[in-house]
Amino acid sequence: MSETGSEQKVALVTGGGTGIGGACCAALAAEGFRVGVHYRSSESSARELADSLEGAFTVRADLTLAEDIDALVVQLKEVAGRVDVLVNNAGYNVNAPMLSMKLDDYDAIFGVARGTWYLTKQILRRFMLRKKFGRVINVSSVVGHTGNPGQIPYTMVKAGLDAFTKSLAQELAGRDILVNSVAPGFIDTEMTDELPDEVKQSIIARIPQQRMGRPEEIADVVAWLATRASYVNGSVIHVNGGLFGG
Ligand SMILES: NC(=O)c1ccc[n+]([C@@H]2O[C@H](COP(=O)([O-])OP(=O)(O)OC[C@H]3O[C@@H](n4cnc5c(N)ncnc54)[C@H](OP(=O)(O)O)[C@@H]3O)[C@@H](O)[C@H]2O)c1
């Protein structure tokens, strides 16, 4: 059933089928949003999640492909008719030191950043500027601020995402469209699962709260930015158990 014209606000979460994105979908649904669960390859978990959240729906796009994003925006128009909140959560990383990182890996990591920029542009143009309302929430990372060996392209992308947040907030001055970043620290998801145990333990030892974060602890802050934070704009909110204060 098409909900076009509905009063219910719609939130789109990229990479919503897994980890932090999945927790964001659940938190936004609990706040009353109709949630668009975006995925690229995690179709079954995205569908399962959407089925468990009232009114939620799935949309697919590889964010490295502009044509996929154009098709996604058309689909959003038909299925939802509006997008009030965009959570740019999708991200991609390859762990390798500078000298063995491949150009293809660099391109794949930066391809998601390019897609994030292009999707945001299209969502602004098609939905938020027309409605004169929007919340854009970018999920960046503490490593964009601290650096991290073995993740140079990823840290470059995450630092750039926070710059994107600040620049876009300034470009949208005077409108009720607020742009912020949430920068997670070390969170227990598939992305961190692949790290060797000794690396995990050495990171945990540097966290004042002495543990990894849970995806829900990031999603709580995202949901707050999407709903109650009316005077927070162009900011980077660090959620990392004290690892880094900004
Ligand atoms: N876990 C951490 O400690 C941590 C810390 C700081 C920041 N973050 C950031 O938090 C976000 C979520 O990460 P996570 O930890 O929840 O890991 P995750 O489960 O691996 O999530 C990454 C998501 O990005 C999506 N994605 C990757 N490449 C894509 C592409 N080309 N097109 C569309 N979607 C793509 C994936 O979708 P599919 O699975 O459908 O392909 C997946 O849902 C990422 O931006 C990550 O950089 C995580």
Tens-place pLDDT, residues 21-74 = 999 999 999 999 999 999 999 999 999 999 999 999 999 999 999 999 999 999
Tens-place pLDDT, residues 151-200 = 999 999 999 999 999 999 999 999 999 999 999 999 999 989 988 899 89
CATH, domain range 10-236: 3.40.50.720
Tell whether ligand 1 has an atom less than 6 A from the beta carbon of residue 91: yes
**Cα of 92 from ligand 1 centre, angstroms:** 6
The structural domains of the chain, with segments of one domain joined by +, span 10-236
**Cα of 91 from ligand 1 centre, angstroms:** 4
**Residue 39 appears among annotated catalytic residues:** no
Of the listed ranges 46-60, 78-92, 123-137, 183-197, the least confidently predicted one is: 183-197
pLDDT for the residue numbered 1: 37
pLDDT confidence of 246, banded at 50, 70, 90? confident
Output the pTM of the full model: 0.98
pLDDT of 207 > 80? The answer is yes
Alpha-helix runs per DSSP H in 8-151: 19-30, 43-52, 66-79, 103-123, 129-131, 143-146
Q: Which of 92, 106, 118, 154 is catalytic?
A: 154
For the record, the structure tokens of 33 come out as 């949003």
